[in-house]
Chain A
Amino acid sequence: MTELSCQGLQKAFGGLVVTDDLALSVASGEIHALIGPNGAGKTTALAQLSGELRPDAGTVWLDGADITDLSLPQRVHAGVARSYQISSVFRDFTARENVELALQAMDRHSFRFFRPAARNAKRIERAEALLDQVGLGEEATVSAQRLSHGQTRQLEIAMAMASDPQVLLLDEPMAGMAPDEATRLAELIRSLAEAVAVLLVEHDMDVVFSVADRISVLHQGSLIASGDPDQIRADPDVHRLYLRDDVES
């Protein structure tokens, strides 16, 4: 049972406190959704968990080990992977090469200068398996810049899964997706969560309430509620601050 957790996370940009005494945890087999209005500090919180941002104070643990001082690449190797809100796949590469590049990152090093990367049959096979898993099996040799928006999001997930992570941090994976695409991606995330701990930052409330096991609500950098979807739905504070439009109308 893997668990990523943090305690007392604190981050300020100048005078603006974006993360205030934040405590979170996510365990394998679970989808934990982090929601909140724009500017609540969701992405900043995610960045501190992934290692892109150093918190001013607080601790991040992976399975009880303090990983606060590990850099982003080091945390990937420790088992924490993330995807991005704005798709950032490598547009010059094909879908499969994108995943191959993600797989290659798990080699001890890439100081290999002569053997063509395109001839690593084992890695190619593994990349194709990952593409199949996210439903991109047919697009393996398509250049990433020709993929549709939804396909690019799927590719993002395949790349994040390439490191065989224990914890997956997903930053708005459904952003800009058509409803049916979003539903399929939600099913995919649900299936991934059987083996992996998923922390999901998402705006689409339908998706969040249907897919999440646990929801935490962030407001101005601090948690105002945390619980299962029913508890969150019933929470008066959450209603006042955030869910008003979505639920009451």
Chain B
Amino acid sequence: MSDPQTATASPTRTGLRFGLWARGPSRWHVALTVVFLALLSVAPLWVEASGRGYLVTVLTRVVIFGLAAMSLDFVMGYGGMVSLGHATFLGAGAYTAGALTYHSLDGSRLLGIPGTDQALVTWPLATVVGALLGLVIGGLSLRTKGVYFIMATLAFNQMIYFLFNALEIYGGDDGVGLFAARRAIGPIDASDDMVFYYVCFAVLVVFTVILNLVVRAPFGRVVRGCRSNMARMAALGYQTYRYRLAAFALSAAITSLAGAMAVTESQFLSPSFAEWTESGELLIMVIVGGLGSLIGGVIGAGALFLLEELSIDITDNWQFFVGIGLLAIVLGAPRGLTGTLLGGRRSHD
């Protein structure tokens, strides 16, 4: 380090990756993220102009479930924690927001507090509930490894699902409609589907930025290190459990927020949000979109809902065609759609 040759070589090497648009290997990934979000920002205007305004709600679901899939990708693609229980948090968010809305319609109280359909209250509350539940479920599940972790998350998923099924007050397994509720987000009246879409889109943009910062930050590096070699991380001096748990709770919080958004969108609260097949569907979105890319979750959600929509038009047996489409993607693009688009370029610095 003291020889003059390296002393002059250092600054150039160091300077290589400064600035968001510098020559870092992830610039293509950032570009893809920006392009896809730009597409989503004009998509509802385009479908409305082309006379298919009913598709706006489909796009809203792409945004909401894309947000959930993105947060699942954060723990799975970056943290190496394969969760088959993220519908737990989707359900927890839906029931937090849905229950508050239900009680506001009803005029009754929930554990002594009055209900509300104000999303500025229900959504943040759902996020907090998701984080706490993530700490508990992650705290226990992360004591297991590999396939046992998957089973543990699935087991918690089933417990929560049957808990919601047993809540007679909210219609048990039938669920309950909340159609009379307002879609109020602060002063914004989002009863209009187009307005509601852009509210959800704004939330997606915010969390896309946050998660992209997090995976590049010191915290994200530790989480990524734990994915490739946990024993080595401990040998470097990291208390790996804490970091993985924090990552899991962050993901749970965002998924729970998506659940709250989803119930506000559908205005119908039912245990199906927490059904384990929903966990599977989020997994499919992440894998189709491309593991470890964040935006891949949203792209995967788009692909899945698009496939659904296209096949419903053609036939009643649409699930068959969704299956064929998924097979085509998995066989033709084994690294997911983003992996194919980026040609294996790194998605982070």
Q: Which residues of A contact B (CB under 8 A)?
A: 50, 52, 71-73, 76-77, 81-82, 84, 88-93, 96-97, 100-102, 104-107, 110-121, 124-125, 128-129, 132-133, 137, 140-141, 159, 162-163
Contact = CB atoms under 8 A, between A and B. Distances in A.
Interface residues of B, number: 37
Interface stretch (B8-16, B280-288, B325-333): B8-16
19 contacts: A52-B235, A71-B234, A76-B237, A84-B235, A92-B228, A93-B225, A97-B221, A111-B243, A112-B218, A113-B214, A117-B217, A118-B349, A119-B17, A125-B10, A128-B6, A128-B13, A128-B14, A129-B1, A132-B1
B236 A102 contact: yes
B246 interface: yes
Nearest to B227: A92
Contact of B16 (A73, A114, A137, A141): A141
Contacts of B233: 105
Contacts of B18: 119
A116 B225 contact: no
Contact of A115 (B24, B217, B236, B237): B217
Contacts of B224: 90, 92-93
A68 to B, nearest CB: 17
Contacts of B16: 141
Grouping DSSP codes into helix (H, G, I), strand (E, B) and loop, the B interface class, with mixed when no group exceeds half, is helix
Contacts of B234: 52, 71-73
Given A73-B237, A111-B243, A137-B9, 18 more contacts: A73-B240, A76-B236, A82-B235, A84-B232, A88-B229, A88-B232, A105-B237, A105-B238, A110-B218, A110-B243, A112-B219, A114-B214, A115-B218, A117-B221, A120-B218, A132-B6, A162-B236, A163-B237
Contacts of B237: 73, 76-77, 105-106, 163
* Most chain B CB inside 10 Å of its own CB: which residue of A91, A117, A125: A117
Contacts, number: 115
B222 interface: yes
B236 A114 contact: no
Interface of B: 1, 6, 9-10, 13-14, 16-18, 24, 213-214, 216-222, 224-225, 228-229, 231-240, 243, 246, 346, 349
A226 to B, nearest CB: 27
B235 A104 contact: no
B151 to A, nearest CB: 27
B222 A110 contact: yes
A128 B10 contact: yes
